[in-house]
Amino acid sequence: MGTHAVDTKPAILAIPMSIPGPVKAAGAVGILIGLATFGFGFAMHRELALASFISNFMFWAGLAQGAVMLPVAMTVVGARWGRPIKRYAEVLGLMFPAMYVLLMLFFLIGGLDIYPWMHEQMPKHKDIYLQPGFFVARLAIGLGVLGLLSLAFIRNSLRPDLGVAAKVLGDKAPAFWASLTRNWKGDAEEIEQARERGVFLSPFMALFYSLVFSMMAIDLSMSLAPHWFANMFPAWYFASAFWSGLVAIAILSLSTRRWLGVEKFITTNVYHDLGKMTFGFTMFWGYTSFAQYLAIWYGNMTEEIGFILLRTELKPWSDLYLVVVTLCFLVPFATLLSRGIKKIPSAYLAITSVIAVGIFLERFWVVMPSVQMEPDLVTPLLLTVGMGIGFLGFFALGTTAILSKIPAIPVSDPYMQPDPNHVHVHPKHAHH
Amino acid sequence: MNGITYGAVTRDILRPLFKPSAAYLGLLGLSLAIMAWGGYCWYVQLVHGLGVAGYQPPVFWGVYITTFVFWIGIGHAGTLISAILFLFRSRWRTGVYRAAEAMTIFAVMTAGLFPAIHVGRAWNAYWLFPYPNQRELWQNFKSPLMWDVFAVSTYFSVSTIFFYIGLIPDLAAVRDKTSGLIKKMYTHMSLGWRGTDRQWRHYMAAYGFFAAFATPLVLSVHSVVSWDFAMSQTMGWHSTLFPPYFVGGAIFSGCAMVITLLLPLSKVFKWDEYINVWHFESLAKMCLLTGGILTYAYAIEHYVAWYSDNPYEWGIFVFRATGEDYAWVFYMMVFCNCIAPLIWWVKSMRRNLAVLFVVSIIINIGMWFERYNIIASSLAHQYDPASWVFYAPTWVEMGILIGSFGWFFTWFLLFIKVMPSVAVAEVKELLRPPLKSDEEAAA
């Protein structure tokens, strides 16, 4: 495969090594708002605060792990178009272990109390499956192993970049790089080894992601309404978590690429491709949501219909439903159809932000009606948004802190192209 | 493909269009004979009525609906490969997409026979379509069966148009190689194609447009087919996951069928330069992905049925796996669709032509059994134990099922004879253009 040599040196030299003061301050304020909201909620509306956490967890943990699944998927299929944004996906993925720790803390402070099956006698099978010890253990192990696999994947991808960048930076390279590039075997060998390991790890991660996230969807979210079940629900969640990851990669990269000096590497063509993929997943979300809704609505069976009626036909949830459909489907569908708009960074940033808000509200709309029995939308919404601001601050601070100390593009990647269309494929290699 | 000239491509790919070999005629004869047998079985049913099928209350959906869904599923790979992979700029589609598209159209044509066979009085099958009539009688538009009529006919129309658009430059290539009446025929079919810049520009725009138009249809048609089942309150059918699960299964069986069809074809016509192990390996990878989706769907379906604590829902899944009537069907399905394809995780196995061929056939068998497992067992084992029966197909039903393969292969073999089975123009795009320096070097 013929490739142009891309000079990634400017991107290495541009690594800022520190976060701008305003980002630090804003992040800290966000975290404080989140903590205060949770504290206040926990004291005043304990159930709603705990449910708000679950709603946020489904959004933020899904987004973090969903993002890292993009480079995983690209490795499986051998795609090259998204190489320039790979690092952003990985940095978001590094936030997943933090979410894991928060979930364990949530269990420790008695978060399981909001699950009705903790207080009711459940029928035979659910009684076996929804045992608190088993519940916590399988989530701790499943999400833990998934997190470790992701860390291995990210470390493997980062290593050759750090090694190559360290040579350019010399003494200025941060100290922790040395431990990540120990026993360096030389550029070519390291790059090849990382590629091989990535190719080996990726299919297992894809498999594991779908299984663990299915379990997470059933356990954390679906079992809040323990008498309801739908076999689309797990796939509906993990596909939309991947979608939220795509959206987050766009938002993070568009807002930091200039600061990190990688603007010329992440061209508008990359966003065009990412936009097409986001559009595809918007359609997929619409498709799976409709398919799930239609079968239940049409079947009209006692054990299923309540979940749907509560969320789509009873106020206040039915109003929120319209907002969710508008933000998650109508707006992105109408706008992302245009080729041009995906190539205008500010417009694309605006659209992806709308989708992110939509998915955030969708998580809320799925989780909260199972817990909030009053017709009051404002209190749980304020709690969830307040905590969401905390997570936003945490993610902003965390991701920028990491990005400020590592190369923001895969500098050692031989296929790293500013524009995939520039890669010339010689017919001789057409059948590799 | 290094060193191949444009002329050689045209010659190699158009070769089957000229002198038919004895093997070809033999295969065609065999297909016609199988089709004739199926035709005879249908004739028996038309004369004696649906009583010759193994139906007994409450089971009135059996082999015919199973086979209908099976062929619709086969018809998925063609448009997926030609349209979706075109939009993905996937290069391996070039060698295989034409034959896959033809396969799609013939598979949908085969599937289209089955509603007519299934309703018994086939001469009234046009009642499926809404048309203005004096009695102001209309179909039940609230029924998913009616949605299916629209979904399948739309899919068939768009796939055919897309197929034809792809053929135009190649039909012109055939026109240029023939003479007399045949040339005249291809001249009409190639719609005045001359290959000018202007024509290519418009052509590519139209092709891209139809690819985008066909893409959602790949998803919609089998989703709607799945709703024939999922909209009902029958246990084992009423499932929210059915649409993506059916689409995944359809692509799985379709890609396997492409391997089954193209592997012998590429060997017989010595098309190794155009369709080779790289293409088959890519198809096998598609099967791995979709087979994985299917296995996931089976697992989650069973799991949620267990979790639901609904005795009827869980009961049907237990019955499928342990009831003496249908358990073997269930295990055939699991073996063929979930276990056998796992061998393709090993690279050398998905590059081994014999393994590819055998596993692709196993998958096709498994996918027929999957539909049979869903349809027959759920109807034979409904809520009220007093209504439990055992449905087994009769020789007439099996004869029509086998005959449908004869019908399908007859069309496919005729296609090979009259149309280029590999896209000539697109293969040429992969070649290095001839240069003046080459001529000088050769001189």
Contact, B375 vs B235, CB < 8 A? no
CA distance B179 to chain A (A): 33
Is B65 at the interface with chain A, CB within 8 A? no
Give chain B positions within 8 Å (CB) of A210: 296
- Asked if B287 contacts B255 with a C-beta cutoff of 8 angstroms, the reply is yes
**Cα–Cα nearest to B272, from B88, B53, B13, B55:** B13
Q: In the predicted model, is pLDDT for residue B90 greater than 90? A: no
pLDDT mean over B401-414: 95
Question: Nearest CB to A301: which of B2, B233, B430?
Answer: B233
Report whether the peptide linkage leading into residue A316 is cis, meaning its omega lies within 30 degrees of zero. Answer: yes
Q: Where are the domains of chain A?
A: 16-416
> Which chain A residue has the Cα nearest residue B233?
A299
Does the pLDDT value for residue A4 go beyond 60?
Answer: no
Query: Residue B2 — pLDDT band, cuts 50, 70, 90?
Result: low
Structure tokens at A366: 């799925």
User: Quick check: B304 and A301 CB within 8 A?
Assistant: no
Q: Is B230 on the interface with A (CB under 8 A)?
A: yes
Mean pLDDT (whole number) for B267-295: 88
Number of neighbours of residue B187 by Cβ within 10 angstroms: 17
Average pLDDT over residues B395-402: 96
Cβ within 8 Å of residue B22, ≥6 positions away: none
- Which 281-320 residues of chain B touch chain A by CB within 8 A? 292, 296, 300-301, 303-310, 314
Confidence tier at A348 by pLDDT (50, 70, 90): very high
Residue B104, Ramachandran bin (φ over 0: left; ψ between -120 and 50: alpha; else beta): alpha
Q: Are B1 and B273 in contact (CB under 8 A)?
A: yes
Enumerate the residues of chain B whose CB falls inside 8 A of the CB of residue A275.
Answer: none
pLDDT in tens, A149-202: 999 999 999 999 999 999 888 888 888 998 999 988 888 899 999 999 999 999
pLDDT band, very low/low/confident/very high, at B136 (cuts 50, 70, 90)? confident
| Tens digit of each residue's pLDDT (9 = 90 or more) over B227-258 | 999 999 899 999 999 999 999 999 999 999 99
Model pLDDT, residue A5 = 56
pLDDT in tens, A18-30: 999 999 999 999 9
Q: Which residue of B has its CA nearest to A421?
A: B89
Q: How many CB atoms lie within 10 A of CB A155?
A: 15
- Token pair in block for residue B290: 């979709």
Written as six digits, the tokens of B167 are 């053929």
pLDDT of residue A195: 92
Residue bearing the bigger pLDDT, B34 or B159 = B34
Closest CA to A205 of A90, A98, A103, A289: A90
Residue A3 has pLDDT above 50, yes or no: no
Reply yes or no on whether the pLDDT at A425 is more than 70. Answer: no
CB contact under 8 A, A125 and B314: yes
Using pLDDT thresholds of 50, 70 and 90, give the confidence band for residue B96.
Answer: confident
Q: pLDDT digits over A351-401, tens only? A: 999 999 999 999 999 999 999 888 889 999 999 999 999 999 999 999 999
pLDDT of residue A432: 38
Chain A within 8 Å of B276 (Cβ-Cβ)? yes
Chain Cα centroid distance, residue B354:
22
Between chains, do A287 and B219 touch, taking CB under 8 Å as contact? yes
pLDDT of A417: 56
Would you state the pLDDT for residue A311?
A: 93
In this prediction, residue A2 carries a pLDDT of: 40
CA distance B100 to B259: 9
Cis peptide before B58 (omega within 30 of 0): yes
Least confident of A205-214, A259-268, A397-406: A259-268
Show the tokens assigned to B266. 């590429």
Look over chain B and give the mean of its residue pLDDT values, rounded to a whole number.
89
Q: What's the CA gap between B421 and B419, in Å, rounded? A: 6
ipTM of this complex > 0.95? no
Q: Which residue has better confidence, A336 or A3?
A: A336
- Give dist(CA A198, CA A72) in Å, integer: 8
Sorting pLDDT into bands at 50, 70 and 90, what band is B202? very high
> Residue B52 in contact with residue B45, Cβ under 8 Å?
yes
For all residues of chain A together, what is the average pLDDT? 91
Number of H helices, E strands in chain A: 17, 0
Mean per-residue pLDDT for A44-53? 94
Distance CA B103, CA B109 (A): 10
- Tell me if B296 and A210 make a contact (CB, 8 A cut-off): yes
Distance CA A132, CA A109 (A): 14
H-assigned helices in A170-259:
176-180, 187-216, 233-256
Q: Say whether A218 and B307 touch across the interface (CB within 8 A).
A: yes
- Paired tokens of B126: 């046009």
B376: Cβ–Cβ under 8 A, 6 or more apart, which residues?
A: B59, B61, B62, B66, B326, B329, B391
Q: Give the count of beta carbons closer than 10 Å to the beta carbon of residue B98.
A: 27
3-state DSSP assignment of residue A304? helix
Sign of CA pseudo-dihedral A114, A120, A126, A127: positive
Q: Determine the pLDDT at residue A426.
A: 41
Q: Does domain B6-433 have CATH number 1.20.1630.10?
A: yes
Query: Considering only CB atoms, which chain B residues are within 8 Å of A283?
Result: 216
Domain range summary for chain B, segments of one domain joined by +? 6-433
Residue A217: its chain B contacts at CB < 8 A? none
Assign B74 to helix, strand or coil. helix
Interchain CB distance below 8 Å, B2 and A427: yes
Q: Is the pLDDT of residue A430 over 60?
A: no
What's the pLDDT at A429? 43
Q: A114-159 pLDDT, tens per residue?
A: 999 999 998 989 999 999 999 999 999 999 999 999 999 999 999 9
Contact B111, B68 (CB under 8 A): yes
Span B140-167, mean pLDDT?
90
Best of B309, B313, B347, B374 to disrupt the A interface (most A CBs within 10 Å) is: B309
Confidence of residue B323 (pLDDT cuts 50, 70, 90): confident
3-state secondary structure of B64: helix
CB contact under 8 A, B243 and A287: yes
Contact list in B for residue A235 (CB cut-off 8 A) is 241, 244, 296, 300
Q: Where are the alpha helices (DSSP H) in A18-131?
A: 21-44, 46-77, 86-93, 96-108, 124-129
Widest Cα–Cα separation across chain A: 70
Q: Is B278 on the interface with A (CB under 8 A)?
A: yes
List, for residues B336-363, the tens digit of each pLDDT value.
Answer: 999 999 999 999 999 999 999 999 999 9
pLDDT band (50, 70, 90) for residue B129: confident
Q: Say if residue B294 is exposed, middle or buried (CB neighbours under 10 Å; 0-12, 13-18, 19+).
A: buried
Residue B310 confidence (pLDDT) above 80: yes
